[in-house]
Structure 1
Amino acid sequence: MIRLLVADDEAMIRAGVLAILGTDPGIEVVAEAADGRQAVRLAAEHRPDVALLDIRMPVLDGLAAIPELRAASPDTAVVLLTTFGEDEYIGRALAEGAAGFLLKSGDPRELIAGVRAVAGGAAFLSPKVAHRVITELGGERMNRGVTARERIKVLTERERDVLALVGAGLSNAEIARELHLVEGTVKGYVSAVLDRLDVRNRVQAAILAYEAGLVTH
């Protein structure tokens, strides 16, 4: 069972999100918050697997809440719920350790898929957000590609295989099946990859995989 915290100051939006999530028997909403400060407190109390935060909330917005929530509940993965016009905040959210981004206007199935992916250890970007990250936030693609290829030279061949699959959005369990490894071994590889590349989370690793040409689809 995936334990989830949902934070959004608009009651109607929150109700809609809960209705969608309620169609999946494998997801349990353990707490609801109307602002970022409340979300941090409830995360510390309930220790959810995933926290779904609206970017714009009173008292403490979703971006500012990320480091505090992760400090209060280190094992909680944070997913930001955004509108398309707010994607300029993605760079800062990546730096703060967000594991995923979902659009409020996106397909409802993306909401469940995103929560499940992040709970399983993967990164998840709504397709439109992913396009923005890869094509625009990347900037100077050719130069960054050269830099990325230099950075991944520190990885072993197996670690590069793992990085490519992280870039493709696979969870640890899916990578284990793909490479015929046990999940615990994959978790160790992922940790080593993040450490060797000096990136904070799987989203940053996925972007690096794209820039290095390890992901082609």
Structure 2
Amino acid sequence: MIRVVICDDHVIVRQGIKQILADAGDIALAGEAGNGPDAMTLVRAGAAAGTPPDVVLLDIAMPQRDGLDVLKSLKAEFPRLPVLMLSTYPDRQYAVRSLKLGAAGYLNKSADSEQMIDAIRRVAQGKLFITPSVAEQLAGAVGAGIGSRKGGVGDDEAPLHERLSHREYQVFGLLAAGKSVGEIAEQLVLSSNTVSTYRARILEKTGVRNDVELALYAVRQELMQV
């Protein structure tokens, strides 16, 4: 049996995933969590008891700590643990970042149950699960890196948001979604001054003047849906 931990802040989503796993026959629920800290606790407890999960299904958009932060912590403590990222965001927004941080795969929540089961089985075997759309994004990112090393197409022609750090990208997504500095500070557990500093860096790196232009940039780059 493949033991799976589900981490998603929506109860109804967890219930749906649990039903999909139950129907598979070869996959068992090892635990569920509604936020990142609880997911870390579950995985640590399983490891300490000698029954670690075989796969973690991890949502990207969660309160307290977002999925990418939790992914970094999981891979630091359990480098061999396959983590399959789940998201409602367009693939190009987070897929490549997830894989670069060590995810074993990236699956949009619009996927059907058969694709989810296939993804879980593949990553449990130590393989990567990459959909054609994610493969296209990954190839583009790798191509840009090769071009940069060869002195050809590189960072100067890559999308401007690719220059953002992980935390800057978090703030970028929240600003583009219409969140205020105060709301972002509360969600990410940062000071408002720190968020304002990130905001200034983001505006500079993306070449826009304000939050409205930032949102328009995100839409043009297909990083968010309208």
TM-score band, normalised by shorter chain:
0.5 to 0.7
Equivalent position amino acid for 2:27 in 1 = I
Q: In the alignment, does 2:34 pair up with 1:34? A: yes
Match of 1:81 among 83, 86, 96: 86
Distance in 1, matches of 2:114 and 2:150, equals 36
Match of 1:55?
60
Contact 2:60 2:67 in 1 (8 A): yes
1:176-213 Cα shifts (integer Å, max 9, x gaps): xxxxxxxxxxxxxxxxxxxxxxxxxxxxxxxxxxxxxx
Residue 144 (structure 1) shift: 7.6
Match of 1:103?
108
Q: Matched residue of 1:75: which SS?
A: coil
Alignment TM-score, normalising by the size of structure 1? 0.61
Unaligned runs of 5+ in 2: 47-51, 152-226
Contact 1:40 1:69 in 2 (8 A): yes
Q: In the alignment, does 2:10 pair up with 1:5? A: no
Equivalent position amino acid for 2:132 in 1 = P
Contact 2:30 2:53 in 1 (8 A): yes
Residue 91 (structure 1) shift: 3.0
Contact 2:96 2:134 in 1 (8 A): no
Q: In the alignment, does 2:113 pair up with 1:115? A: no
What aligned pairs does 1:164-183 form with structure 2 within 5 A after superposition? none
Distance in 2, matches of 1:45 and 1:77, equals 17
Match of 1:16?
16
Distance in 1, matches of 2:136 and 2:89, equals 12
Distance in 2, matches of 1:96 and 1:6, equals 19
Count of aligned residue pairs for this structure pair: 146
Distance in 2, matches of 1:145 and 1:109, equals 40
Query: After alignment, is 20-29 or 65-74 more displaced?
Result: 65-74
Unaligned runs of 5+ in 1: 148-217
Equivalent position amino acid for 2:141 in 1 = L
Match of 1:137 among 137, 141, 152: 141
Q: Matched residue of 1:124: which SS?
A: coil
1:136-185 Cα shifts (integer Å, max 9, x gaps): 433448848989xxxxxxxxxxxxxxxxxxxxxxxxxxxxxxxxxxxxxx
Distance in 1, matches of 2:113 and 2:134, equals 15
Misfit runs of 4+, over 6 Å: 144-147
Structure 1 vs Structure 2 CA RMSD: 2.3
Contact 2:7 2:33 in 1 (8 A): yes
Contact 1:36 1:65 in 2 (8 A): yes
